[in-house]
Amino acid sequence: MSSASFTPPWDVQQLPRADGSVFLVTGGNAGIGYFVAEQLCATGATVVLGSRNPAKAEVATASIRSRVPGARVQVVRLDLADLPSLRTTVESLNVECLDAVVHNAGVALDAPARRETEDGHELMFGTNHLGHFALTHWLMPLLSAAPAARIVTMGSFAAKSERLDIDDLQSRKDYRPKRAYGRSKLAQMYFGLELDRRLRAADSTVASVVVHPGGALDSLTPSRPPVHVRTAGARLCGAPAALLVQGKHAGAWPAVRAVLDPTVRGGQLWGPRVFSLRGKPQRERAWNHLTETSVAARLWDPLCQPWVRHPALSG
């Protein structure tokens, strides 16, 4: 094998440089999104934190700057539950092109009562899925202006055991919080894969990749005060779980690789190496139900609202 064709193993601690690139991370002020942003900032890229709470985003920004000297990090107000606001959010980015967006933000509810967005959508489906669907539409001109942009959709291992009810996407008939969350993430993953098929059909230079973080617990996540503080008690209680799962810093690795690794291709699924729950990121075989393209197409059709008119999204 010639040295020109050699690709070194991916090292989560030694990321390639991305100077001059601009990345948007939704929900970048906390959890996995924070660590995605922190790790991407270490590459020299400009990273924009999309957050519905600007005050929390500024705290996250200060934390990143304290750990990454010279970090190029910005904040944009982003409320995925407010669909009409997303066009204004994208316009406020004030950039000529966008090299990647990580669709990470999400809402997970435990309360038994079903809640809706102001637009009348079930809150988790409306935020986690529809919000990112609409955001992708408004971002597409900026993504298309980049040489080879990527849309990285953060799914969830919770979606592996769920199946969509196409006739009740909004969970109006039978609402169960954990199931509704899992289905909203499954819808996101279907979206990411179907999006890449449509991008390829449109000969787009943009690629869509789906990732998931495996099992990511706060108790195994290193402290980033005041964004996240891990107590000694939490560290002790979480130690046994480290055999099977990991912290949110490691849960960020598949998304970071999907943004940066030139060998990653659109339409792929990436997750942790060990039982899809922990470890370094690797490509996974698509889950059986994610290969059901007819379900993805049926999911897409009801979503073609007036705010979705880009050929790749409405074709």
The residues annotated with a catalytic role in the active site are 181
Cα 246 off chain centre by: 18
Query: What are the contacts of 243-246 at 24+ separation with CB within 8 A?
Result: 244/215, 244/275, 244/277, 244/278, 245/214, 245/215, 245/216, 245/217, 245/220, 245/277, 245/278, 246/214, 246/215, 246/216, 246/217, 246/220, 246/272, 246/277, 246/278, 246/279
Phi then psi dihedrals of residue 76, to 5 deg: -135, 140
First and final C-alpha spacing in the chain: 42
Asked whether 210 and 148 are in contact (CB, 8 A), the reply is no
Structure tokens at 176: 């169960």
